Amino acid sequence: MRKILITLILIFFSFDSYCQHPYKQNLQDIATITFPDTPKTKIISAETFYYFHDKGSTYICEAMPLSTSLSDILKGNSIDSLYTVFINSALAPTKSHTFYKNNIIANDLKGVEFGFKFQAKGRTCYSYQNVFYLNDVLINYSYLSLDSLNKNDKRITDFFKTFKLTIKKEEIRQSNAAELGHITAYIFMAFVIIGIIALFGFGIVFIIRKVTYKKS
């Protein structure tokens, strides 16, 4: 009986490991990113988040279309100002600080990478994120973990490197930050909380009680 039990356990974990089917997620028809398996979706105030939970880690991606004026948020109408707003908004709900932050280039895009840790339900969580703006869309993808990892850990880079553009190089626009839409910290608060919920396996409906969205 013990041997049968051990065999069943091994089969279970083997199934969990080998029966995943990578899923390429379309991002506003300008890019894609590949999840380890089919992600779940959550819509909050017309914004769609994609996430997949797997063995103590959560993969998240969101592509937010932006429009109208950012004059009350962007300083100097620069893309760097936009990234600063995003990072500060992501950190605000947990009163965290980044443990790394760097400008990056990927797919000929100028972006930013950053990481921060925060406390949730008595546990320390670590968030590793990349952010890119192009063609009036802000794209963010992240890896949340209960383990402290190097930002170049294979589990992180294997996910991040699947981000690919589906438009031609000459169609890329990153220089129109002044035309971007109004972004509130509440959207990014929702983004972080989704990851926490998925990471700990809570019911996703719980997010409604945690997030307050303020319309621009």
- Residue 208's H or E segment, with its range, is helix 207-210
Percent above pLDDT 90 for the chain: 37
pLDDT at 168 over 80: yes
Three-state DSSP state, 88: helix
Per-residue pLDDT band at 103 (split at 50, 70, 90): very high
Per-residue CA distances from 78 to 48, 83, 85, 174, 192 (Å): 25, 9, 11, 10, 25
Does some domain include residue 6? no
| Distance, CA of 162 to CA of 141 (rounded, Å) | 11
| Distance, CA of 100 to CA of 37 (rounded, Å) | 28
Does some domain include residue 7? no
Does some domain include residue 13? no
What is the phi/psi pair of residue 197, to 5°? -60, -45
pLDDT of 18-57, one tens digit each?
A: 456 899 999 999 999 999 999 988 876 667 889 898 888 8
Does some domain include residue 76? yes
Domain of residue 111, residue span:
21-210
pLDDT score recorded for residue 96: 87
Does some domain include residue 14? no
The token pair at 25 is: 């997620």
Does some domain include residue 1? no
| Distance, CA of 96 to CA of 90 (rounded, Å) | 9
CATH number for the domain that contains residue 50:
3.40.1000.10
| Distance, CA of 90 to CA of 202 (rounded, Å) | 20
The contacts of residue 31 (CB under 8 Å, 6+ apart) are 63, 107, 134, 139, 163, 164, 165, 166, 167
Per-residue pLDDT band at 59 (split at 50, 70, 90): very high
pLDDT at 162 over 90: yes
| Distance, CA of 210 to CA of 37 (rounded, Å) | 27
The contacts of residue 67 (CB under 8 Å, 6+ apart) are 136, 179, 180, 181
Strand order across the 123-134 sheet: 40-44, 47-54, 57-65, 137-145, 123-134, 109-120, 98-106
Per-residue pLDDT band at 87 (split at 50, 70, 90): confident
Give me the number of domains the chain comprises. 1
| Distance, CA of 82 to CA of 50 (rounded, Å) | 22
pLDDT at 130 over 90: yes
Does some domain include residue 113? yes
Read off the DSSP letter of residue 177: G
Q: Name the more confident of 73 and 121.
A: 121
pLDDT at 174 over 90: no
pLDDT score recorded for residue 85: 79
Does some domain include residue 215? no
